A = this chain, B = another copy of it.
Amino acid sequence: MKTVYSPRHHGHSGHVELYNGQIVPAFEKPERAEMIRAAVEARGFGATIAPAEHGLAPLSRVHDPRYVDFLSQLTELWLADERPLPILPSFWRAPGMRYIEPETVDGKLGHFSFDAGCCFVAGTWDAIRASADVALTGVDLIRAGESSAFALCRPPGHHAHANAMGGYCFINNAAVAAQAFRDAGAGRVAILDVDYHHGNGTQTIFYDRADVLVLNIHGDPRQEYPYFLGHADEIGAGDGEGFNGNYPLRWGTGFDAWGEALDHACHRVAAYAPDVVVVSLGVDTYKDDPISQFRLDSPDYLAIGGRIARLGLPTLFVQEGGYAVEAIGVNVANTLEGFLQR
């Protein structure tokens, strides 16, 4: 299994987030990707390759083009206003408010975001583009005949909506990849999101579509971020009814219950018979993750990889969350090793 990686993720460094009423260094930091790369390379799964440039068109297949424009222009707009970096939104478009893009940069920031978890520094846009290219290059590998690939994306993507950033996520790499598979001829794509947090962006992007099955195993939104999406009764709408599935699990969930949910989800994927599976691979389900409340241990990730491999389908792993930096590499590498050992 090849790994796609770009050092350009380092451009997204030194950024902050609003956490517990304070501005703190973001938990989503560059060391995460480096720990993962080191662990994966140490296991010798296959070559690490650089992403190919794919441009912005594949991003606008799942994102509002105005939103992509905004991300590409934000830093320039901000600096033209002679304001210091980093950039963090302070205001948001609440439920019941209008969808009219404001003229001012603060207004645009609120229009195109839903929390204070997405911070821009000078290299953020370049890192976002590289991260999407990493995912799209993973798609290319599968299309060229590889049975699996690992897209070591950073920043992550699954919280990003079609028109809004939030939760460390700007461009929804997994959604971009799934759409790229569709556009390249795949009839059905399944996205299996095993990150601790509900992939609200991925869900909303495909909510009314039957050609992309989206399944999420995650912390119950009654207890956990993103709080306001990810309930079990969200099953899709319109053409997409029955093609969205959520497995909200309570704080303290260990691998027994988590593994049952995965097993159920994998049966759904098998029944759907997709041409390809995209795994939104977060390892913040780990027992010592600093912002999460599940109790998976490192060996469990071998079992997760093995269970996904039993589907016998072409599989693209797309990196999402995981904030226990010391363990993140081991847990990601274990997942991939479990997959390859099947």
Contact = CB atoms under 8 A, between A and B. Distances in A.
A98 B231 contact: yes
Interface stretch (A80-88, A124-132, A328-336): A80-88
A228 B94 contact: yes
Given A23-B21, A23-B23, A226 B88 contact: no
Considering residues A91, A200, A223, which has the most beta carbons from chain B within 10 angstroms of its beta carbon? A91
Given A91-B115, A94-B164, A97-B228, 18 more contacts: A18-B88, A18-B90, A19-B90, A20-B83, A21-B23, A90-B117, A91-B117, A93-B94, A94-B166, A96-B161, A98-B228, A98-B234, A100-B231, A104-B224, A106-B225, A106-B227, A107-B223, A116-B116
A111 B100 CA distance: 23
Interface residues of A, number: 50
Nearest to A113: B94
Contacts of A107: 221-224, 227
A97 to B, nearest CB: 3
Nearest to A97: B228
Interface in A275-297: none
A256 interface: no
Interface in A9-47: 16, 18-23
B98 A115 contact: no
A18 B20 contact: no
A260 interface: no
The 4 closest A-B pairs by CB, nearest first: A97-B228, A94-B114, A21-B88, A107-B227
Contacts of A90: 18-21, 115-117
B21 A97 contact: no
A119 interface: yes
A238 interface: no
A145 interface: no
A111 B227 contact: yes
A85 to B, nearest CB: 9
Contact of A21 (B16, B22, B100, B221): B16
